Amino acid sequence: MSWSTEQQNRLNKEWEIVKQYFPGFEWKYYGTQLCLEGWMTTNQKTMYKLRLYVPIDMPNSVPEVVITYPYPITDNLGKALTDYNYSATMHLLSPKDGYPKICTYKSTHWNPNRTFYNVLIKVRIWLEALDGHKSSGHALDYYLKHQQ
């Protein structure tokens, strides 16, 4: 994958912000696919590993984000989140590469001014809601607003 100069500059800026707010993240290549990978720990001290796929047309598309650890990651009843496929109430999209994919931004709500930081903060909040779901049994949309 070769990035334009503009994209490379943008990636550098994104990196400056990500390493400030999510210092555990690092760049990884899977074949030609550039990703940001790292750990987040919820307030309940549950650790999750995330992978953010950098779109080839970045910053014009929503980056996809999956949970790669725990594997499999399950709901409160032990059902794998990938078995939901997509779910409005759990804010999940169809799995990617065998991992559950988190709903963050609707494509119509994305614009190039949004950053990986915005996406990762949503992911962080989503994970806190998942911990809530595991304790209470409420679906994630009990905790998370649907994007209008």
Smallest gap from Cβ 103 to another protein, in A, equals: 4
Note whether 56 and 1 are within 8 A (CB): yes
Nearer to another protein, 30 or 39 (CB): 39
| Residue position matching structure tokens 């990703």 | 35
At 19, which helix (H) or strand (E)? helix 5-21
Selected range binding another protein among 2-10, 29-37, 49-57, 100-108, rule: CB under 8 A? 100-108
Count the alpha carbons within 13 Å of 144 in the hemisphere toward its beta carbon: 27
Q: CA dist 141 to 71, 92, 122, 132, Å?
A: 23, 11, 13, 11
Candidates 9, 80, 86, 97; binder of another protein (CB under 8 A) is: 86
Q: Which of residues 5-44 bind another protein (CB under 8 A)?
A: 20-23, 40-44
Site for another protein contains 113 (CB under 8 A): no
Nearer to another protein, 7 or 134 (CB): 134
Give the burial class of 20: count Cβ atoms within 10 A of its Cβ; 0-12 exposed, 13-18 middle, 19 or more buried: exposed
- The amino acid at residue 25 is F
Candidates 88, 97, 112, 137; binder of another protein (CB under 8 A) is: 88
Choose among 52, 57, 140: nearest CA to 97: 52
In sequence order, the β-bridge partners of residue 26 are: 37
Selected range binding another protein among 6-14, 29-37, 50-58, 83-91, rule: CB under 8 A? 83-91
**Residues at the site binding another protein, with contacts judged by CB under 8 A:** 20-23, 40-44, 86, 88, 91, 93, 103-106, 109, 118, 121-122, 124-126, 128-129, 131-132, 135-136, 138, 140-148
